[in-house]
């Protein structure tokens, strides 16, 4: 407490005592008990009133006990069911929940995980993917500032995400191994890489990685079949020293359309699991290629990022040119990207017939762009500004989900207001100093039968890098650029109904299909009633499902389809519109490709995190280990809270009560 405040309090005591003394002793010259009682009431009420006026800060200290946090991470994937460990897992959890000593020492939390981690509600063991790294990292992050540990109940077989063996965490992890720990001989296809597209009559590569789990030397045959006919075959051999084999097959794209293939390796006699010997894949064979030209006035990291993103789709080829070196024409290009144009681009704009994208930035000559007959104007000044992105859920030019654009690094451009003449659709608005505006950051328009888009800002390479850090993949960002290119580069008349579906879905997976429906004015229509009819190509069984409206698209999720080939037809009620397509549900289940638990990787995780590995029949030993480990102890922390005395509202009631008692006492004894 400050010295000045203390002096004010002493002064309040003196004044309150003096006033009360003057009223009940000095004036009356009486020392009766009633006067002494009234003196005390008056002095106390005046002092408390003075305290409220002084309003000192009152400090309170509260002590809290914090138990160490123990997180149980339960593998809820199909592999648990594949190893027939459902009962074991539930028994372990029941034992933990009823263990008094463990729950007394720890604050115990329960989570289940597959591809994502959630608070444990119930266990279904039907997750089709497993990301152990995300589960362990998330549990660590939730309690990164406290004392605790994680118990990982899993077979250790991961199908997606970063390698959990190399994650950096502070808290110990105790793997509790479920699944078969016996080693069996096993051949499997561990990975298959193929491009989604190929050109008709061209050859396309298929890269397959084979893995052998065993010690005895053996030989087998790897094949790729299409429609039951072999299109590639190669003999392979393995041994204890040679456990992996990579095969590259160059297949011919003979027919246009979606072509389905099956890669397989012949099983050995003692093999327990043969489901992982086969893997299906699909390639869309097309007879056209999109050529894209990027012309720039400067060298910039954006150029490389754009080229990589566009060429991720193998049906697209990008030529990258500096404007002062490019003497050719735009003939033969379906789309041109003008990067930070200036007057040197005039020749290209005058001859352009292709659809195009403009990307502006700090080196853009806006006087030149404003002089073009595109209807795009910017009242730019010579001042650089950072522009964040705001996603427009009502955008309907093409299907594009939100990549959390608002969390991406800002783009840089010259400051100024933008005006666009005519009809246009804005996918991203500008956010300026955390204030959302209706100024476009990325917009599309059509003028004179020509499609164009403009991005107001440089630095899109940072978006690609940030998206990779968030998703551990460039794919979401590259798909965003691909969607933009697909719209701008296409000269086909825009369709009012577009459907997006995968070509192959794994067994037991949810079939996600989305659709975009536009009215006759090519505006997104939220009033439509849409249906999809899915037909099994073999049994001819039909199933009908309604679409649900979600933001700016329609979506349907279908479960329970058996393995096989399917066709679908999407229709809009009351409209003569439909879209047909096909997909395949494979009998390949990634969670069933493993023959035993991966104890080696789990052991490395335990050692790296200063934990310890246990098996499912050692749950009591695990509990004893946790109870006896001196690293896990209850901590005490003091919480200091300061608040002004005037916030103590009850004090006002005390003062009123004291004054009321004083008044009634004086009234009763005739002193008023």
Q: How far apart are CA 75 and CA 81, in angstroms?
A: 10
Identify whether residues 520 and 624 lie together within a single domain. Answer: no
Kindly report the backbone phi and psi dihedral angles of residue 328, in degrees, each rounded to the nearest multiple of 5, phi listed first. -85, -165
Identify whether residues 353 and 397 lie together within a single domain. Answer: yes
Identify whether residues 308 and 413 lie together within a single domain. Answer: yes
Identify whether residues 25 and 90 lie together within a single domain. Answer: no
Nearest CA to 77 among 561, 471, 470, 509? 509
3-state secondary structure at position 298 = coil
Identify whether residues 300 and 423 lie together within a single domain. Answer: yes
Residues recorded for the chain: 672
pLDDT value at residue 521: 67
pLDDT value at residue 30: 64
pLDDT value at residue 623: 95
Identify whether residues 386 and 300 lie together within a single domain. Answer: yes
Identify whether residues 572 and 611 lie together within a single domain. Answer: no
CA neighbours closer than 13 Å in the CB half-sphere of residue 165: 11
pLDDT value at residue 368: 94
Measured CA angle at 563 (ends 181, 559), to 5 deg: 90
Measured CA angle at 191 (ends 187, 193), to 5 deg: 140
Strand partners, 566: 536, 583
The CATH number for 458's domain is 3.40.50.880
Strand partners, 70: 108, 149
Give the domain range for residue 119.
68-182+596-633
The CATH number for 583's domain is 2.60.40.1930
The answer to whether 279 and 263 have CB atoms below 8 angstroms apart is yes
Identify whether residues 418 and 515 lie together within a single domain. Answer: no
Identify whether residues 316 and 191 lie together within a single domain. Answer: no
Residues of the chain with pLDDT under 50: none
pTM for this prediction: 0.57
pLDDT value at residue 641: 80
The CATH number for 279's domain is 2.60.40.10
pLDDT value at residue 559: 85
Nearest CA to 511 among 453, 583, 580? 583
The CATH number for 610's domain is 3.40.50.410
Identify whether residues 363 and 439 lie together within a single domain. Answer: yes
Number of domains in the chain: 5
Identify whether residues 458 and 607 lie together within a single domain. Answer: no
Q: How far apart are CA 62 and CA 641, in angstroms?
A: 8
Q: How far apart are CA 661 and CA 40, in angstroms?
A: 11
Identify whether residues 409 and 424 lie together within a single domain. Answer: yes
């Amino acid at each position: 407490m400050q010295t000045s405040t203390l002096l004010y309090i002493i002064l309040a005591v003196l004044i309150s005592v003096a006033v009360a003394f003057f009223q009940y002793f000095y004036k009356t010259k009486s020392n009766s008990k009633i006067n002494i009682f009234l003196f005390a009431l008056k002095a106390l009420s005046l002092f408390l009133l003075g305290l409220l006026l002084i309003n000192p800060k009152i400090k309170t200290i509260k002590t809290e006990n914090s138990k160490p946090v123990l997180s149980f991470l339960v593998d809820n994937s199909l592999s648990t069911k594949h190893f027939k460990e459902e009962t074991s897992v539930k028994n372990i959890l029941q034992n933990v929940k009823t263990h008094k000593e463990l729950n007394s020492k720890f604050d115990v939390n329960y989570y289940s995980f597959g591809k994502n981690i959630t608070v444990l509600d119930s266990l279904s063991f039907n997750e089709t993917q497993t990301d152990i790294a995300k589960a362990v990292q998330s549990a660590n992050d939730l309690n990164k500032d406290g004392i605790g540990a994680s118990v990982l109940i899993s077979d250790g077989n991961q199908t997606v995400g970063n390698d959990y063996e190399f994650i950096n965490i502070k808290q110990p992890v105790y793997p509790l191994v479920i699944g078969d720990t016996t080693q069996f001989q096993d051949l499997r296809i561990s990975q298959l890489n193929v491009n989604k597209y190929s050109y008709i009559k061209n050859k396309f590569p298929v890269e397959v990685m084979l893995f052998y789990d065993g010690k005895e030397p053996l030989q087998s045959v790897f094949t790729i079949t299409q429609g039951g006919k072999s299109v590639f075959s190669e003999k392979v051999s393995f041994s204890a020293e040679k456990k992996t084999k990579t095969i590259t097959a160059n297949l011919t794209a003979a027919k246009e359309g979606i072509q389905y293939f099956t890669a397989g390796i012949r099983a050995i006699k003692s093999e327990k699991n043969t489901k992982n010997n086969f893997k299906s894949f699909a390639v869309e064979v097309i007879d056209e290629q999109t050529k894209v030209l990027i012309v720039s006035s400067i060298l910039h990291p954006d150029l490389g990022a754009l080229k990589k993103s566009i060429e991720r789709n193998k049906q697209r080829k990008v030529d990258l040119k500096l404007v002062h070196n490019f003497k050719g024409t735009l003939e033969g290009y379906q789309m041109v990207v003008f990067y930070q144009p200036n007057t040197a681009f005039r020749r290209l704009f005058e001859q352009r017939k292709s659809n195009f994208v403009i990307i502006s930035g700090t080196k853009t000559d806006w006087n030149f762009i404003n002089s073009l007959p595109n209807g795009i104007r910017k009242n730019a000044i010579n001042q650089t500004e950072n522009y964040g992105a705001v996603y427009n859920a009502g955008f309907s030019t093409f299907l594009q989900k939100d990549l959390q654009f608002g969390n991406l690094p800002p783009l840089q451009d010259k400051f100024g207001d933008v005006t666009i003449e005519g009809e246009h659709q804005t996918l991203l608005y500008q956010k300026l100093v955390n204030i959302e505006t209706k100024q476009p950051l990325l917009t599309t328009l059509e003028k004179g039968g020509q499609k164009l888009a403009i991005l107001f800002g440089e630095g899109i390479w940072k978006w690609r890098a940030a998206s990779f850090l968030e998703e551990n993949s460039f794919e979401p960002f590259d798909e965003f650029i691909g969607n933009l290119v697909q719209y701008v580069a296409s000269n086909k008349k825009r369709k009012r109904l577009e459907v997006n579906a995968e070509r192959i879905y794994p067994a037991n997976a949810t079939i996600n299909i989305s659709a975009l429906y536009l009215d006759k004015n090519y505006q997104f229509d939220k009033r439509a009633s849409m249906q999809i009819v899915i037909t099994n190509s073999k049994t001819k069984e039909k199933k009908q499902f309604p679409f649900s409206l979600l933001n700016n698209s329609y979506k349907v999720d279908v479960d329970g389809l058996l393995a096989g080939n399917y066709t679908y037809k999407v229709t809009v009620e009351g409209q003569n519109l439909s879209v047909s397509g096909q997909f395949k549900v494979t009998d390949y289940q990634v969670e069933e490709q493993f023959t035993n638990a991966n104890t080696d990787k789990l052991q490395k995780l335990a050692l790296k995190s200063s934990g310890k590995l246990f098996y499912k029949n050692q749950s009591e030993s695990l509990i004893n280990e946790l109870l006896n480990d001196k690293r896990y102890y209850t901590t005490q922390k003091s919480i200091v809270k300061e608040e002004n005395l005037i916030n103590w509202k009850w004090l006002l009631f005390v003062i009123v009560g004291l004054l009321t008692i004083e008044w009634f006492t004086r009234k009763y004894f005739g002193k008023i």
